[in-house]
Each structure stands twice: as structure tokens, then as C-alpha cells.
Structure 1
């Protein structure tokens, strides 16, 4: 039976109160559904946008290439362009069927940091079939940055205001793209150029009646502090002192008048994932010896009341709750889930339950958020993730240009293309929540090893209008760097503040 496409997945607003983009309901958790639906949805939604860009770019090219709607209808030797989903055939990539076929008593190998190898192949597929991509624009050693002829769309869509970055053509598993070229006698498709969906128009800004009566010049500066990787409850005294310095800075109690005035302009704090420390694994044998019992002869009985302290520690949640209570009387706080936080790892990650943070949950200015999440702050829309999608993409790459790939996800119009291949997600059947239906003014990816940022210009959908701007930010882990990123929601200016002990 053909899958019916729900109209919600075509043009959903990013902040619809009735159904936020990354909210999970009971139907989304039904694992009886096939993940193939998610890939089909992605192709159906993004193909018209890719086709529009491809026509604008190639219809007046040499030999007047035409679009072939189905892979199986491509004729050998005739230049054309095809649209499909990128598939990476990688021998080192985890395979769930191979894992299940192994003997259960064999210890699992440690997870690979990279999946790429010299044997990798890049495919493009649609509903009709799959074709292997070859040619000068395809690097045989898949997993590196694939560089080729710079596309005119990329040059027009991404004019960097400061640093000029080289044009990159990067195809990753799960992206939707158009490929220009010819079919060879061997059946492979010889590619000469690429095209992606590009950036959608910006989301509309909703304002209350009072805000509409104030001009942009008269609005006070509104700064947002983005912090990731606090890792509360790690027991590290140095980190505890850093976190206390951060509280004093946010409250305007650290430094001189200049720092106090700077902190007074911060109206919101975004804790962008990994706010609690990862729990340490428990050695059952060691626990049994400490208790004077044998792990083989003594059956562990469940606790009748409360939780078992040998299995679960409430220290990270309690420490975070107490830390939040110090700053919530002075400013709003948004708390995103992260990889080390006590929520399911499946993307999109759910909000932290308010019962875990009873003190913070009592404040009106506290909001628990999903990962990823949209925010409207002032006259800017923010889109942020806790870092897992970008980290997973880099398992397919040998390069470490993280900012370049973060920018590329905007051109793909998809922030997590490796879902559900190697990044866990729910088997959505009515939408792909990771598709970009609108372009944010601020796009941040947290829990990265270092701070990087770029201010981009891209054409406005309205003719004659000024170019639109998007600030892309890689937010460093606070536990490793002691750094916090400040963003001006009006000018998109960025500052980096560091704390050393």
C-alpha cells in the first residue's frame, strides 16, 4: 500500500505550539514501522527544491542537459541530471544484521571512530533503483572532502562576510542531491557537477503588541549566553570552581564595571546539552566483594522505596538543579537534552523530566527543551543541536573542518542526514523533523572541541531585498575549555568568554 504523505511534513512552522518540530508523540515511538518511510519522505519533500535549483543552474548549460525523473530511464552517453538520496557503501560501517549473526559470547569490538576507507563507494538512489557515482567530482577515497568544480549556486548562496572558505562539494549518506553527468557503458554515472536543495526562506517572526510599537533602534541589546558540556556532578573541584565563576559572571558579580554592564545585557541562557556528567559504569563483581557477598550466589533484590544508589546516582541532577536555582531569579534558562543527560539517546531527544529538577521547574523562566530545538529570541530564530548529528557525519570523513560541514548542512536543508543509518532516530512515517523548512538567523552546534563561527549571506526570496544573514556557531564544551559563547540576537555579533582557575 503506498504511503500517504501528511501535509504537516511539507510546510510545518518551526515553533507551532500545537506541534513543535521536534516533539515526539506515542505514534512516533512505534517501532513496528519501517525506516524506509523516512527516506521516502525526505526524497519527496526535498526533490522539488533540488529540481528547482538544478533547472536554474543547468538548463542553459552546454548540451542542454535534461532531468531524468527515474534512475532506470537514464540513457547511456546522453548528458542529463538525476536526483536521489546519497547512499555510502562502506565496508567499515556498522551492520546490524552482521551484529546479530555473531555468536553472543564473542566480545563486541570497540566502536570505530571513523567508517571511511579506500573501498568506499558512493551511490545515488530513488524509488526505481540505484546507480554508482564516479568521475572527477567523486573522490575514490570516500570519506574525504570531495572537491570539484565550484557550483554557481554555492557561490551565490554563501558569501562569507569575513573569512573566505573554499567551496566544498560533500555528499554524505542520506543527503538529497542532483548529479549532472552521463551514464557509462559499465552502468556507472560519470558526474561532473552537483546541486542541493539550498536554504529555504526564513521563518516569520511573531511579536507581541507592545514589541511592535518599538523601533529596532530603540530596542535594548539582547544577548544570549550559550553553554554546553557543563557536566554537573563530575566531582572535579576545578570544574566546580569554573561553574561558580560562570554563575558570578552571569549575575554581574564578577570583574569590574565593564563586565557587570556586559552581563546585565544577557537576558537568556541556553544550556545546550551534556549538562550532567556521564555516570561511571558499575563493576558488579567489585560491588559484591565490598558488600561481603558473592555475585554468583546472592541474588540482588530490588529496592522497595526510592532508588538503588549502587545503580543510579542523583548527584548530577541535584547539582544541576541547585546551580540553576542561583541564576533563574535573574534570567530565563532553556535546558536542552544531550548525549550524557538522562534521556533516551534516540533523536530527537526528549525534554528532561521536570521531576528531575524540582527547584528549577518551579520558575516561570525555566524551559526544558528537546534536542534539536528551535528558539525565537527577540527578532531572531535560533536552531541548535547538542552535537550528535555533526559528530556522526564526521565518522564518514577524514577531514576535521567541522565548521565547513556545519555550513554544508544548511545547503543540504537537512541537519541530520545520517539518521537513521548510523545515528539513532525514531521511525517517523508522517514527517522528517530534521528537514529545514525555514532558515534560522542563528544556527549553533554544541559540545565541540573548539569555538568556531562564520557569518553567512544568502539571497533573499524577495527580489530587490537585502541579503539574509545566518550566524553559524560551534559551541565548545565548557568542561574542556571553560568557554561560553555570547550572541547578540539583533546584530548577530558573537563574543567568547573564558573562565580559568
Structure 2
């Protein structure tokens, strides 16, 4: 028994690679040669057309600008970017009303029955009509192929539509290279507002092997990496109505003090874990980083003075994609999914179902830059998916949810909604080898 009590387990070490897809080498805002929608359409047009011709054999592809020259009695394939005209979307007038200190009504749902749908390419936009396509199932920014015909009033009657679909399977399968290890996903620590120190201490002690029996410690040693998926410092952006400059300035100073205190708390929390486990730290929508728009860049090392000294910490972007133990892992802090649900607010789809839709749309942040702030890329759109991930997650969701799906060419993808830790006290354990998941609770949330 004494031998069992003194037994030591070595932490599992697996291969790791950050694809660096969302790292910004330079910030440039003065290039207007190509907008991001054109870049997105150029990136996805060929694959979308190939998929459309496989689905609709015998139909010709026509550019939107050339449609008027074709026979209106025949059906054609159009390819472009969808745009939803929504009166409830944020507007400049609402922003001005806030600036003028007038009370603006918050709106968490931009959808209404009056929404209109358009398809546009580099030169022209045409309105889509018909009952064959549910406007609430799509959002602005999607590259889409439409089958239909033009009506006398200049609108386009939709008979069917299709999207780029899942990324193709890689030529060389990495399945045989997958290592026997696990990763732990957690998000929404919200250290500014989370006063439950016990759950954080339990999390820290559990991942470092300081809690649990010997069998539990053997299980914990298999966890090769922890991914902290955003909103670690602050979990929400509360809305306040201020009447004057001094009140606003006082609030800003208080917010800065809260963030600094929480950063010190995060630094101490991470330094305990980093002694024995590797961590991928992603920023979130409300975390104090150098940029608010996506892709958010990693926390600056000077903000985490203790933790930054460890080689076991990896500052990641939001969203992030990389290889862990032979599995392609990708995800975000969840802001993109929340924004999609605002645009399609009348739809009854769950966050997990919207997460699956982004795989079919082949885009990590389709609603940007229309309603979701993203950096103005010009030459290409880095949010277009180039690989089909094995593990695909969204952080800061209201509850834990997961699903294993099979893509077009047999690829298995594990979808995961990571719940807010500050509210649920729950993290998600993922087995890299068989893609099984297990929620781990550190309290009664």
C-alpha cells in the first residue's frame, strides 16, 4: 500500500503545432483594392460550383451580371454571397444616439418576418424569392450556389441552393498517428465576476494531480494539454447609461482596476497549472487584449509576468486552429455562434447545430464584418476553412452539448459546446484517440 501511495505518474506529452492561420504579421487599413467579401467569394467559388454541378446536373452556370442576357424560361446556377436586409440590425443612428447620451433600446435579435435576402457577386446584387429556401436558416456573408430562374419583376425564384460543404479529406490520413492522450477544454472563467474560488482551486488541484485517489491521478496524467477558450478575465460587457463625462471616466477607471486585479488572479492560477501541464490560452470577446476585432491576438506576455516564463504556455489567437497529438483542433470563444443566432433569431436551431452549419458553410465567422467585427483582410479571407477539424469547439455557451458527425468523405468531427465555467463549474474532457467526451464538474453550478 505504501508503494501505491508514493507512485508517480509522468504527464503525457504529445505533438503540438499551431497552424498560425490567424496571426497578424502587420496591421494595414489603407488598402481598398479588394474587400473581404470578394476575397471570400474568390476562395470558395470553385469548390461551390463543383458541388453545385454534382447536385444539379444539366444546368448551366451564369454570372449574376449576365443573367439578364439569358433565357428567362430556363433555370440557371448562380454563385455569390448572401446578404440579409434586416431593419433590426445595428445602425449608425443607434450608435449616434448612444454617443449623444440618448437611451437606446438593446436588441438581442435582429431577425423579423420582413427580412429580405439577396445574392451578390463583384458587380451586381439580385433579390431572392420563393418558398424553397428558408431565409431564417442563413446569414449574411455565406458563399452560396442558387438554382432557379429570373422573374419578370427582376427577382430570382429559388428552386434550391447549396453551400461549399465540408472541407475535403486530406490525401494522407493522420488517423494512425493519433496519440493516446486527452485534452481538457474550459471557457468563461470570468475572474472579474466569479467569486467562487473553491471551484477554481478544485480545478487547479485536479489538473495538477493534487486531488483524487491514485486511480484518478493516473487518469489525470493522460491529459496532455488544457485549452482555455476565452472570456477568462471578463465574461460579459455590461451596458450602463451614463449622463456625463465624469461618470463615464469613473466607470472606465473602475473597469481597468477590475481587469488588472483579475489578470493577477489569472497569472497565479496559470502558474500553478503550468508547472506540470501545457496550456493553450485563447483570448475572448470581453478580455483585455490589444484588439477587439477578430482574429483576436494572444494575450501580451507582459500581462502575465509569472506564467509567461513557462515554456508550457502557448498564447493562441481567437479563433485558433492547430494540431494536438495528431488531431486537428479548431474553435473560438463562441462570439461568432452568438452573432449567428442574433441574425437568425427566428430559427429554433441550437448553438451546436449552428456550429455544424459553419462546417457546411466552410467559414469560421460568416457574419463578419456585417454584424461581427473582423480585421479588414483584402487579399484573402483567413476565416475560410482549409482543413476539416477533428475537434471543433465553441466556448462560452450556456450549457454543455456535443455531437459526433460524419462528413461527406467519411471524416469524423467531434462538435463541442463548452459551457461557461463561471456559471456551470464544468470543463470538457476529450479523448484524442476515439473522440469521446466527458463533462467534468468542479462544483454544483
Label 1:176 to 1:58 Cα distance change in 2 as closer, same or farther (>3 A). Answer: same
Give 1:387 deviation, angstroms.
Answer: 0.6
Give per-residue Cα distances to partners, 1:167-205, cap 9 Å, x unaligned.
Answer: xxx321000000111111121111121111112235688
Q: Unaligned stretches of 5+ in structure 2?
A: 1-15
Aligned to 2:356: 407
Aligned residue for 1:120?
Answer: 115
Paired residue for 1:157? Answer: none
Q: Report how far residue 256 of structure 1 moved.
A: 2.9
Mapped partners of 2:255, 2:52: distance in 1: 58
State the match for 2:133 in structure 1: 138
Kindly indicate whether the alpha-carbon contact (under 8 Å) linking 1:249 and 1:263 is maintained by their aligned counterparts in 2: yes
1:193 is aligned, of 138, 160, 166, to 160
Q: How does 1:163-178 map to 2 (within 5 A)?
A: 170-178=137-145
Match of residue 190 from structure 2? 231
Q: Distance in 1 between matches of 2:153 and 2:240?
A: 56
Instruction: Compute the displacement of 1:492 (Å).
Output: 1.1
Q: CA deviation at 1:108?
A: 4.7
Q: TM-score, normalised by structure 2?
A: 0.86
Partner residue of 1:476 out of 402, 414, 419:
419
The answer to whether 1:83 aligns with 2:79 is yes
Is 1:21 paired with 2:15? no
**Corresponding residue number in structure 1 for 2:438:** 495
User: Does the residue aligned with 1:66 lie in a helix, a strand or coil?
Assistant: coil
CA-to-aligned-CA distance 1:100-129 (integer Å, 9 cap, x gap): 776953515143101011110011111231
Measured in 2, the distance between the counterparts of 1:204 and 1:226 equals 29
| TM-score when normalising by structure 1 | 0.77
Partner of residue 129, structure 1: 124
- Tell me the equivalent position of 1:52: 50
Residues 30-74 of structure 1, C-alpha deviations (whole Å, 9 max, x = no match):
333449610100011100010000111101xxxx32111234425
Alpha-carbon offset, residue 427 of structure 1:
1.0
1:374 paired to 2:372: no
SS at match of 1:122: strand
Verify the 8 A CA contact 1:132 1:189 in the aligned structure 2.
Answer: yes
Residues 485 and 205 of structure 1, relative CA distance in 2, 3 Å threshold: farther
Relative to structure 1, the CA distance from residue 275 to residue 102 in structure 2 (aligned partners, 3 Å threshold; closer, same or farther) is closer
Paired residues in the alignment total 421
Q: Which among 49, 53, 60 is matched to residue 66 of structure 1?
A: 60
**SS of the counterpart of 1:443?**
strand
- For structure 1, list consecutive stretches of 5 or more residues without a partner in the other structure: 1-13, 145-169, 289-294, 301-306, 461-466
Q: 2:271 matched to 1:312?
A: no
Which ranges of 4 or more aligned residues in structure 1 deviate by more than 6 Å?
14-17, 204-207, 279-286, 307-310
Contact 1:321 1:360 in 2 (8 A): yes
In 2, Cα distance between equivalents of 1:359 and 1:80: 61
Contact 1:35 1:427 in 2 (8 A): no
What's the secondary structure of 1:473's corresponding residue? strand
- Counterparts in 2 of 1:51 and 1:482: CA distance versus 1, 3 Å: same
Q: Quick one: distance in 2 between partners of 1:35 and 1:480? A: 45
Partner residue of 1:241 out of 194, 198, 206: 198
Q: Separation in 1 of the partners of 2:333 and 2:99?
A: 33
Distance in 1 (CA, whole Å) between partners of 2:236 and 2:442 is 25
Paired with 2:236 and 2:351, the residues of 1 have a C-alpha distance of 28
- Between the aligned partners of 1:429 and 1:492, the Cα distance in structure 2 is 36
- Over the aligned positions, Cα root-mean-square deviation in angstroms equals 3.1
Preserved CA contact (<8 Å) 1:442 1:471: yes
Change beyond 3 A, Cα 1:117–1:43: same
Q: Does 1:392 align with 2:349?
A: no
CA distance in 1, matches of 2:236, 2:298: 19
CA contact (8 A) 1:234 1:316 kept: no
Q: Tell me if structure 2 keeps the 8 A contact 1:205–1:380.
A: no
Q: Distance in 1 between matches of 2:372 and 2:239?
A: 26
Task: Give the SS at the match of 2:41.
Answer: helix
Aligned residue in 2 for 1:259: 216
Q: Is the alpha carbon distance of 1:15 and 1:127 closer, same or farther for their aligned partners in structure 2, counting shifts above 3 Å? A: farther
Equivalents in 2 of 1:280, 1:432: separation in Å? 28
* Larger deviation, residues 260-269 vs 381-390: 260-269
Q: 1:308–1:413: structure 2 CA closer, same or farther, 3 Å change rule?
A: closer
Task: Return the alpha-carbon distance in structure 1 between the equivalents of residues 192 and 99 of structure 2.
Answer: 35
The residue aligned with 2:300 is: 353
